[in-house]
Chains A and B, each alone.
Chain A
Amino acid sequence: MNINYIVKELFHRKRRTIVSILGLSIGVALFLILNALSLAYREAARAPLTEIGADITVQRAGNVPEELTGAVFPCSAVTIRREEINKIEKIPGIIGIGQAVLVWVFDPHRAWVVLGIERDNTIGPAILRVFVTAGRFLEDGKSEALVEIAYARQFGIKLGDNVTAAGRSFPVVGLVDASRAPKIAVANLYLSLKDAQAIAAASKLLQTVSPFAPDDINLLFIKAEQKQITSVAAALKEIMGEKAAIATPESFLKLLGSLFALSDKFTWAASLIALLIAILIAFKTMAGNISERVREIGVLKAVGWTQRNVTMQLLTESVIQCFVAGILGILIAVIVAFGLSFMTVNIPIPWEMSPKPHFLPGGGDQLFKTLRLPIHIPAMLAFFALLLSVFVGGLTGALLGRHIATIKPAEVLRHE
């Protein structure tokens, strides 16, 4: 094997070299981009849940009282009983849970969406503490409230004011900018979980359609082992029954409806087909290149190159081409991924996760979580593509080289 000879051969046959390198590099780039897109959509689909510190949310559909006065549950989130929560906590794969109570409060002069939160739990809506733009977050053991800033502006509510919801009064200790907050589990008024449970438990109207004990809840946020999300979701369905609404990254992915989001198997198949076509192009080009050199190989053998010497020479040529193609493919994929990263994705939030009553102005509007496509080329995938490319080069070189190296010099030199 002589590197100088290899490099000169590759430069001399520029057209074939460029075709095989470009063909394979486009295949490698397609393979990487298709997989990166699939991963990006999966990551994007996780965003509505991850931004609230969860992997799964659990609700249960139910009825709304005919008369809307005082505190009522939305029809998409009725009681989750304490004994159900105790069972859920024991499901294998669950790392932690967060609880909340969401109620609509229809007071004589104002309607509120009220959310009771666990102030010290990182799983669930307590993540809102970073969006407090004025005042402070809720303090432990105190009956106090946070008001969403746009709502406060609309109704002239200021820090230090007292607000009344369902007959209970709370001092306003902070204002929350919900426009920057997660799209699910948002409200106009944020209370401690205990206060919200007390409001729900005290509502006779609510109790008539969905019996609620003071330690029950109606929103559950679950952090789970990534690989067990599907099995956890199935176990949740079993405990919660048919009316359970369980949101997982997979369910958001389905809502996205993108081709790349449909199935990871589809993406793998499509990208492998692209790579296979590229490999065939490279194989054909390299085979053409080698068959053009039959006479040259005859000369090499005549002057004393063994079959092994010839095979190693052709194999190294092929590996170098495919290595360069692999590197080029990765570079193309990185550049394309950079371009695609400016794309935005709108992830629809299911209506049952929208906290606003649909019969109020804007309540029926489709909510979206909008984010830039989080696309990147994973290093392991790029390494795999490069390895595959080099393997293809090695295999092609070995197969073609071994075949062509068996020619007898006299056969090709005879026709002078």
Chain B
Amino acid sequence: MNNADILIGANLSKRFDDLEVVKDVSLIIKEGEFVSLVGKSGCGKTTLLSLLSGLEQPTKGQVILNGKEITGASEEELALFRREHVGFIFQSFNLIPTLSAWENVALPLFPIKMTNEQRQDRALELLNQMEMGHRTEHLPAALSGGEKQRVAIARALINNPKIVFADEPTGNLDSATGDAIMAILSELHKKQGMTMLMVTHALELAKTADRVIRMQDGEVIT
């Protein structure tokens, strides 16, 4: 394996009962690369993202993330692996409604032994970076869609991940807010060299990335 290859997916297939959603997909993502995975709804791109990020196990094939093979790992091992190496951004933000913005950002750190002050300092640093320093104590219900996604991005970064997986990060936002979020992701990639794999159905957004991978009917077509 080349050292620059941070994520390798080899011959990945995923079957749900009779339906094969991902069919023998292989791909490599290099460190610092921004890759977008584009395709129509139901083409299997979100499932492929789940396989590559360790959220789901493939029916067949192999995933090597940051030099470690994660296929066949137990749920507990995968959880610990995600905590240490992976960040997630979801379409519907998936913030915990009872926690404030900074607590949502610090959520991945809750199971880690550290003081609450340390957690808060790290979360506030990231929220400031996302220009959310004035909304740190607000609950998700009091935030706009764009603000929620900024909080979710900060949460994805709290553990200094090797790679961030973004699943339709602008899917629930209006175009102006979506553009702002894409600008943040681009900046993260360009200024901090963050490796990113973004799933989207919008070709325009996909073009923001260094590389675009197209999917159709569970297969990579380009």
Contact = CB atoms under 8 A, between A and B. Distances in A.
Interface string A392-413: 0000000000000010111001
Nearest to A296: B96
Interface of A: 2, 4-5, 8-9, 11-12, 295-296, 299-309, 406, 408-410, 413-414, 416
Contacts of B108: 303-305
Contact of A306 (B80, B88, B94): B80
Interface stretch (B3-11, B32-40, B97-105, B178-186): B97-105
B79 A9 contact: no
A414 B46 contact: yes
Contacts, number: 79
Contacts of A5: 96, 98-99, 103, 110
A176 to B, nearest CB: 72
B60 interface: no
Contacts of B47: 414
Given A295-B94, A308-B76, A414-B46, A303 B56 contact: no
Interface of B: 46-47, 50, 55-56, 75-76, 79-80, 82-84, 86, 88, 90-92, 94, 96-99, 103, 107-108, 110-111, 116, 155, 159, 167-168, 171
A11 B56 CA distance: 33
Given A296-B96, A305-B79, A409 B55 contact: yes
B99 A416 contact: no
Main secondary structure, interface of B, reads mixed
A309 B34 CA distance: 32
A408 B75 CA distance: 8
B88 A303 contact: yes
A416 B50 contact: no
Contacts of B46: 414, 416
Nearest to B110: A2
Contact of B50 (A4, A9, A406, A414): A414
Q: List 10 A-B pairs, minimum CB-CB distance, nearest first.
A: A304-B83, A410-B56, A12-B98, A410-B55, A8-B98, A303-B108, A309-B111, A410-B50, A299-B94, A306-B79
Chain A CB count within 10 A is highest, among B55, B82, B116, B155, for B55
Given A4-B116, A304-B80, A304-B111, 12 more contacts: A5-B96, A299-B90, A304-B79, A304-B83, A305-B79, A305-B108, A305-B110, A306-B80, A308-B76, A413-B94, A414-B50, A416-B167
B98 A302 contact: no
A392 to B, nearest CB: 24
A304 B82 contact: yes
